[in-house]
Homo-oligomer: A and B are copies of this chain.
Amino acid sequence: MSFTLQAQEGGARKGVLRTAHGEVQTPAFMPVGTQGSVKALSPDELRDLGVGILLGNTYHLALRPGAERIARLGGLHRFMGWGSSILTDSGGFQVFSLDHLVTVADEGATFRSHLDGSPQRFTPESVMAVQRALGSDVAMAFDQPAPWPGDLRGARAAMERTHHWAERCLAQEAAPGQLRFGIAQGGFDPELREESARALSAMAFDGFAVGGLSLGEPRATTYRLLQLQTAILPADRPRYLMGVGTPIDLIEAVSRGVDLCDCVLPTRIARNGSVLVRGGRINLRNARFVEDGGPLDAGCDCYACRGFSRAYVRHLFMAGEILAHRLASIHNLAVLLRLTRTLRDAIGGGRFLEVAAALRAEWESAPLP
Contact = CB atoms under 8 A, between A and B. Distances in A.
Contact of A307 (B43, B293, B319): B43
Given A42-B327, A65-B311, A322-B325, 8 more contacts: A35-B319, A36-B316, A37-B319, A37-B321, A40-B323, A79-B312, A80-B312, A81-B312
Interface residues of A, number: 38
26 contacts: A35-B315, A35-B321, A36-B315, A36-B316, A36-B319, A37-B316, A37-B323, A39-B321, A39-B322, A40-B322, A40-B323, A41-B323, A42-B323, A42-B327, A44-B303, A60-B319, A64-B315, A65-B290, A69-B311, A73-B312, A79-B311, A80-B312, A81-B307, A81-B308, A322-B322, A322-B326
Interface string A55-79: 0000010001100010011100001
**6 cross-chain pairs, A with B, having the tightest CB-CB distances, nearest first:** A81-B307, A40-B322, A35-B319, A37-B321, A37-B323, A65-B315
Nearest to A271: B322
A309 interface: yes
Contacts of A41: 323
A318 interface: yes
A246 to B, nearest CB: 23
Quick one: copies of this chain in the complex?
Answer: 2
A79 B316 contact: no
A320 to B, nearest CB: 8
Interface of A: 35-37, 39-44, 60, 64-65, 69, 72-74, 79-81, 290-291, 293, 303, 307-309, 311-312, 315-316, 318-319, 321-323, 325-327
Contacts of A291: 69, 72-73
A36 B322 CA distance: 12
Contacts of A35: 315-316, 319, 321
A135 to B, nearest CB: 15
A35 B324 CA distance: 12
A119 to B, nearest CB: 21
Contacts of A323: 37, 40-42
